Amino acid sequence: MAKEITPRSENYSQWYNDIVVKADLAEQSAVRGCMVIKPYGYAIWEKMQSILDKAFKETGVQNAYFPLFIPKSFFSKEAEHVAGFAKECAVVTHHRLMNNPDGKGVVVDPDAKLEEELIVRPTSETIIWSVYKNWIKSWRDLPILCNQWCNVVRWEMRTRPFLRTAEFLWQEGHTAHATAEEAQEESKRMVGVYAKFARETMALPVIVGHKSPNERFAGALDTLTIEAMMQDGKALQAGTSHFLGQNFAKSFDVQFADKDGSLQYVWATSWGVSTRLLGALIMAHSDDNGLVLPPVLAPIQVVMVPIYKTDEEREAVLAKFTEIKGKLEAKGISVKLDDRDTLRPGFKFAEWEVKGVPVRIALGARDLAAGTVEVARRDTLEKATVQLEGVEGYVEELLGTIQKNIYDKALAFRDANIRKCDDWEEFKTEIQKGGFLLCHWDGTAETEQAIKDATKATIRCIPVDSCVCEEEGRDIFSGKPSKGRVVFAIAY
């Protein structure tokens, strides 16, 4: 089985695609720009979902579900919002097919044209706010904290597995509050949930910050983001949390009677992360041998590969493995005993490596005689011979070590690729090398746009919890005064 992966250094895109395919995460589908997420890839997504979902619920958020289709009239109520999404919407115009009169296949029945077209949701703000209008009458009804796990469709011109697909899975939270402060706090709380998840679960050292006005969500007053650095030095927006002000409340006329009897528009937030997180995971941690999964997210944390020549040896090894497996599972560790009799050990080693399983245990007659076992770790590819007795404790500790090591490695990489830059000429060449540049910015959209036009670099965020750099300086492009540095990078 050919599983060679193109080295990162040769073609980063190809390297990424290879890992997606060869680690058995996803494949291309018959529909342009849409992918099939395979069981192994989906299992990782399910782990992400369960951890995030728990974190959401701890903050009082409840899950709900809203329609896939949005009447065109709903969608066009918020002017900025529609401007942001209009170019990439799938539209339902008919509701029936009929046999082709010329006998070949089926055609759309022209008589089944919808009076009002339906938009396949690119995001659900509009349909949700049309519903919230009926839910909200009094200050006692607030806050409303809903999240939905669903798919959305954005007809992107160019797609890439996980990073940008025409259809993708995500969660979108939509909250309604009585005051601006409360809404802003909610928005901050949720970006905090994302940052904690990215760092502790995905081992991704993200930077939290505000988006510049140019990069904000269509219809938001403020957008908070977690920005990650990929191994080619490019930035990836991994999650966002928006303070929507009263824009949607006003567009959908959502008002409530306040304690003092006055009628007020509610304040809103929305926040989301998507299967793009899987793309971030792949690009941040993988190496040229394949996927590297942080133990917390790995569907299989430990794989056992038996080595034997005879049936007697096989039975003895499998019996010992089954015993260890029980002990590991008792500690909550997910274990796969690869007892396939048709494949050789070397093949299995390579296969599980491509799939990113954090720990591999190999056991053969030689080990049984010596009372030892071989434990290999995916992140460093190191192998150790350890005592069979108590190996479950060793493995449990190792999983924690690996989780931490993957994070530390990514953090060291990120920090090695962040630098300050105060000279425009230097900026133009440095930014092309990848990595983040911390530069002064005068706060204007014009400057930001000019820099983007000249270099393709955008302001990834105005950091609030790492790389914070509040100091007086002069804008790298315009030379105007600045109160602090922001993060510039070329992004996915």
Which 3 state secondary structure label does DSSP give 472?
coil
Amino acid at 332: G
Could you give the dihedral angle defined by the CA atoms of residues 79, 81, 86 and 90, in that order, rounded to the nearest 10 degrees? -130
Binding site residues, RNA, CB under 7 A: 1-4, 13, 17, 28, 32, 84, 87-88, 122-123, 152, 154, 156-160, 164, 170, 211, 215-218, 223, 237, 240, 272, 274, 289, 307-309, 341, 344-347, 349-351, 353-354, 360, 362-368, 374, 376, 381, 383, 456, 491
CB of 32 to RNA, least distance (A): 3
Rounded to whole angstroms, the Cα distance separating 75 from 70 reads 7
Structure tokens at 357: 């399983």
Angle, in degrees to the nearest 10, between helices 39-58 and 276-285: 110
In the bound state with RNA, the residue whose beta carbon lies nearer, of 42 and 271, is 271
CB of 137 to RNA, least distance (A): 30
Rounded to whole angstroms, the Cα distance separating 153 from 34 reads 9
CB of 450 to RNA, least distance (A): 14
CB of 263 to RNA, least distance (A): 30
In the bound state with RNA, the residue whose beta carbon lies nearer, of 256 and 353, is 353
Rounded to whole angstroms, the Cα distance separating 334 from 328 reads 8
Residue linked to tokens 């659900």 = 124
CB of 183 to RNA, least distance (A): 18
CB of 140 to RNA, least distance (A): 32
In the bound state with RNA, the residue whose beta carbon lies nearer, of 231 and 264, is 231
In sequence order, the 6+-apart residues with CB closer than 8 A to the CB of 230 are 236, 280, 283, 284, 492
In sequence order, the 6+-apart residues with CB closer than 8 A to the CB of 405 are 379, 380
Rounded to whole angstroms, the Cα distance separating 49 from 222 reads 26
Rounded to whole angstroms, the Cα distance separating 266 from 246 reads 6
CB of 383 to RNA, least distance (A): 6
φ, ψ of residue 98 to 5 degrees: the values are: -145, 160
In the bound state with RNA, the residue whose beta carbon lies nearer, of 1 and 263, is 1
In the bound state with RNA, the residue whose beta carbon lies nearer, of 142 and 206, is 206
Rounded to whole angstroms, the Cα distance separating 58 from 35 reads 32
Give buried/exposed letters for 475-486 (b at 16+ CB in 10 A, else e).
Answer: bbbbeeebebbb
In the bound state with RNA, the residue whose beta carbon lies nearer, of 261 and 371, is 371
In the bound state with RNA, the residue whose beta carbon lies nearer, of 240 and 286, is 240
Rounded to whole angstroms, the Cα distance separating 488 from 492 reads 13
Structure tokens at 86: 């209009």
CB of 17 to RNA, least distance (A): 6
Amino acid at 173: G
CB of 194 to RNA, least distance (A): 12
In the bound state with RNA, the residue whose beta carbon lies nearer, of 244 and 296, is 244
In the bound state with RNA, the residue whose beta carbon lies nearer, of 249 and 368, is 368
